[in-house]
Amino acid sequence: MDIPADSGTATSDTTTETTAAATTVTNRRQPFPQGFLESISEGWADRPESTPPCRAGAVEASRRRDAVSRAFPGARLVLPAGDAKQRSNDTDYPFRAHSAFAHLTAWGADAEPGAVLVFDPREGGHDVTLYFRERADRTTAEFYADASIGEFWIGPRPALSAVSADLDLPTAHIDTFEPREDDLVLDEDPDLTRFVSELRLVKDDFEIAQLQSAVDVTARGFDDIIADLPRIIASPRGERVVEGVFHTRARTDGNTEGYDTIAASGPHACYLHWTRNDGAVLPGDLILIDAGVEVESLYTADITRTIPVDGRFTDVQRKVYETVREAADAAFRTARPGVKFRRVHEAAMEVIARRVAEWGLLPVTAEEALDADTGGQHRRYMVHGTSHHLGLDVHDCAQARRDMYYDGELEPGMVFTIEPGLYFQTDDLTVPAEYRGIGVRIEDDILMTVDGPVNLSAALPRTADEVEAWIARGGRSG
């Protein structure tokens, strides 16, 4: 990666200014010579501008903006996309727009850092404008001198007019945006932040299609991992090979991963958010893979499968695995329109408590463990929740009120996970030795419909027998 030299001022004709001395502390910045400055803006073929058709999802985004407008009459609303975040020195992390910004604009992976969506109040509603920086093309000094936005460095950027047509939304240069003291700003104003989070609880048809697409690509990524098991096993850091195989699919067929991949083999599977992924993947162990592809619209899947590395579950591994599946199936049967969201978790936990009590792992009965006030002993082996909403964020709608989320009722159009698990740490003396180091989670992405739940990720094998057959045929899940 390189950085630009210092520049003078370029125009659409020729520059008449000489270079200035370097003004930054970096010792990598070199001055441009006069000949470069006089010629850089000339000798370019015309690059015709195209006006894209209105993109899929733009109509739905307009309806969402109307809902926001109705909720905040007379208020000026400001929703920033966010800025690039520094990774180290002069390198940044890949930019991803704020989820609420993406939801209200339909601007996904190609959104510009520093963009701002503004609702200006007027009688009867709001005038909505999308502000961002215009192209830094060859008519500007930024073209060659600014490595963050100059098109000589990063390639063509979207023009204001093109984005306006693409999103069916008025646009303006960011330099014309003037903040005001009474602005309601996303992530600063709690009412605005809550509202746009709750607005995502029920997905429309476009969102559901995007989530199904993300799930389908994710399933192909899991197939890739199974197909590459021999290479994964052969590597001293096989977990990292798993991560890399999935990353290839995510970048090839999607935008990227929706979150850091968990590739947790053997006892690492007992760490709920193991993302170090630096361990070996050894025959005889289970590997827990929690991964999801984010597609170009920024909607993400979130799927977990736990597989026996050598293709066959041991008797104890199978018993734990099938208990987790039993809990997931119980949660799925419980999920219906009108049912409290928390009941999904409770149904899974009833199975977990009953089974670990039968195995003699609890100091109390299953009924006593399930007591809301005095129980919870079974939670030692499954400390996390069973479900969360899914969408633009892997844990979507996180700023929604409790009575709309955990205590809310399931509605058609909601998309959420079902992901029970059992985790027996290697040093947990409350369980027999044969259980220690076993971690299992099964996670599927669920769409609620008027007729009940639909498993969007059902194409991926779930039962222990199906998983073994999946490995035997080399990763073809369909």
Q: What is the mean pLDDT of residues 285-311?
A: 98
Q: Give the number of other CB atoms < 10 A from CB of residue 94.
A: 10
Backbone angle region of 197, left / alpha / beta, with phi > 0 → left and psi within -120 to 50 → alpha: alpha
Strand pairing of 286-291 and 303-308? Answer: antiparallel
The reply to whether the predicted model has a pTM over 0.85 is yes
Q: How far apart are CA 449 and CA 18, in angstroms?
A: 66
Q: pLDDT tens-digit profile of 127-167? A: 999 999 998 888 888 888 888 888 888 888 889 999 999 99
Q: pLDDT band at residue 229, thresholds of 50, 70 and 90? A: very high
Q: Return the percentage of the chain with pLDDT > 70, whole number.
A: 94
Q: pLDDT band at residue 5, thresholds of 50, 70 and 90? A: low
Cβ(290)–Cβ(316) under 8 Å?
A: no
Cβ(29)–Cβ(5) under 8 Å?
A: yes
Of 22, 56, 17, 58, residue with least CA distance to 40: 17
Tokens, residue 10: 């370029």
Look at residue 142 in the predicted model and tell me its pLDDT.
87
Q: pLDDT tens-digit profile of 359-393? A: 999 999 999 999 999 999 999 999 999 999 999 99
Q: Is the pLDDT of residue 209 over 60?
A: yes
According to DSSP, residue 457 is labeled T
Tokens, residue 288: 């827990």
Q: How far apart are CA 257 and CA 109, in angstroms?
A: 12
Tokens, residue 463: 């039962």
CATH class of 205-472: alpha beta
Look at residue 342 in the predicted model and tell me its pLDDT.
98
**How do the domains of the chain map onto residue ranges?**
58-198, 205-472
Q: How far apart are CA 171 and CA 167, in angstroms?
A: 10
Q: How far apart are CA 163 and CA 295, in angstroms?
A: 20
Q: pLDDT tens-digit profile of 394-451? A: 999 999 999 999 999 999 999 999 999 999 999 999 999 999 999 999 999 999 999 9
Look at residue 7 in the predicted model and tell me its pLDDT.
52
Q: Count of residues for the chain?
A: 478
- One-letter amino acid identity for 32? F
CATH of 58-198, one of 3.30.830.10, 2.40.37.20, 3.40.350.10, 3.40.630.150: 3.40.350.10
Cβ(270)–Cβ(246) under 8 Å?
A: no
Cβ(399)–Cβ(200) under 8 Å?
A: no
3-state helix, strand, coil in the chain (%, to 5): 35, 15, 50
Q: pLDDT band at residue 9, thresholds of 50, 70 and 90? A: very low
Q: pLDDT band at residue 28, thresholds of 50, 70 and 90? A: low
According to DSSP, residue 431 is labeled S
